[in-house]
Amino acid sequence: MNHGRNEHDPVSTEAESLSTRDSLNAWLDLRERVLRGDSEATARQHAKRKLSARERIDLLLDDGSFAELDLYRRRLPRDAPTEPHTGGVITGSGTVHGRTVFVYAQDFRIFGGALDQVHAQKIHKVMDLAIATGSPLVALNDSGGARIQDGVSALAGYGGVFSRNVRASGVIPQISVILGPCAGGAAYSPALTDFIFMVRETSYMFLTGPDVVREVTGAEVTQEMLGGADMHATTSGTATFVYDDEATCLDDVRHLLALLPPNSRTLPPSYAVEDSPERSCERLLDIVPADPVKPYDMRDVVAELVDEGEFLEVQDAWAQSVVCGLARIDGRTVGIVGNQPIVRAGVLDIDASDKAARFVRTCDAFNIPLVTLVDVPGFLPGLDQERGGIIRHGAKLLYAYCEATVPRIQVILRKAYGGAYIVMDSRSIGCDASFAWPGNEIAVMGADGAVSVVHGRRIVASADPTALRAELVEEYRSEMMHPYYAAERGLVDDIIDPRDTRAVIARTLRLLQGKRADVIERKHGNQPG
């Protein structure tokens, strides 16, 4: 029944068609305006060497893959027509190298990217979806902080973000990209994520800004000094990666995502490579000197071992006596941890222990096998280190390795002394395979130090202390530090030709690919603080 309307009435059909077309055009006009945003505000962003939120998303995601959520969200009631759509944050999903990624990008053009209730709800939604689908989350931060007009509601919004950061920790990769200010409580969210990217001269992250510091302490500091990218890269260790421009930064975010699995239940992606896993590494014979005190760059060793020499080093400007980063061997992602002989002889100190421990736990959370390259003289001695808690911080690295259930391979290149040998993923704490180069030295300490402790009085009382010391040092080396001492006791699985190191690691990784570890049932461990 048509209730009196002639279904073939051309007038009625035309009127309905016009109405639908008008609605469509109105919607398209609104959508275009929302997507375009304030052109003057965009120009101000560009003047500061900053991209707009949408430009950043376009660089991050595969072309045409972005599916936006909540484009029309804004503050209510509707009698506030000046309230812009999106709520100052753009949220949604897309792909990176064809794999799903969720993203939110704070839009500084709208109220300085300040977080209010709507803004927070949009972030909460996209975080919940990332967790539920087991997909990585990328946060593009550019915000002046909480919107004052929202008061405690804004603070509660941050609390919701933090709680989700913790819930997602170790479940999905979380990447924070700081592309503007990130101040006050907002800074805690990046600190809870797995990786932090920053850009020089435009990224700032601190709890209290220069004005507050000046008022409270009287100190005159700039934003750059207080929370700039280089400060966090070299001094605080908060920044994982630092770049000169946003485009390069976002390109490396894509590279990192290609190395990571989507979640903790899956393995990292593998790729076919032309670099043969059986390739001989002839250059290693020249890179690493036989003399245990001569320096060399561990990054040169890594470049020889990994596919195509590509190595994404994390925190490269902080705690430089240890090198950590992601690479591929035989097309599969691996985490590399190595002592760095060109920086304090590769000694472990407070910061190096923290850096390596954090990296080991990140790799373990996301099923990334660990390769540990050992050339360590020990822990750094000294009053400052002891008072600073070197025991507590060194225990973090020990705990991280002991807790790790991924395949773990140790390679001792030259020396491994004392507690630092144990901590650097030794056989005694559970590594799956331990290899050593000929000429390795594994001992409680170096020969000179050992002789001083054991024979100090005898040397002082001798007629020729220098000659006796030399004799005792040589005796200690031959009896306690010869290359086969640990292998004879089953603490090293094999002595290998340095040129075969890549091939040995690749074969062992294939062997360990099906590793399944039994984990004691418990609520959680209590790692050193």
Query: What amino acid positions are annotated as catalytic residues?
Result: 184-185, 419-420
Between helices 350-365 and 390-403, what is the axis angle to 10°? 20
Report residue 162: phi and psi, to 5°: -60, -45
How many whole angstroms separate alpha carbon 367 and alpha carbon 263? 9
Report residue 194: phi and psi, to 5°: -85, -35
Nearest to 242 by CA among 202, 275, 270, 282: 202
Give the burial string for 67-79 (b: 16+ CB within 10 Å, else e): ebebeebbbeeee
Q: Which string of DSSP letters, residue by residue, matches 253-275? A: HHHHHHHS-SSTTSPPP----SS
Nearest to 438 by CA among 409, 411, 408, 470: 411
Q: Tell me the one-letter amino acid at 105.
A: A
- Which stretches does DSSP call E strand in 154-265? 174-183, 195-199, 204-206, 241-243
Reply yes or no: is the peptide bond before residue 77 cis, omega within 30 of 0: yes
Q: Tell me the one-letter amino acid at 44.
A: R
Cα 351 to chain center, whole Å?
A: 16
Please name every residue paired with 143 in a beta bridge, in sequence order, or none if there are none.
182
Cβ-based burial of 209 (10 A; exposed 0-12, middle 13-18, buried ≥19): middle
Q: How many helices (H) and strands (E) does the chain have?
A: 20, 16
How many whole angstroms separate alpha carbon 504 and alpha carbon 485? 21
- Taking the C-alpha atoms of 145, 156, 167 and 137 in order, what is their torsion angle to the nearest 10 degrees? -40
Q: Assign 195 to helix, strand or coil.
A: strand
Give the burial string for 29-47 (b: 16+ CB within 10 Å, else e): eeeeeeeebeeeebeebee
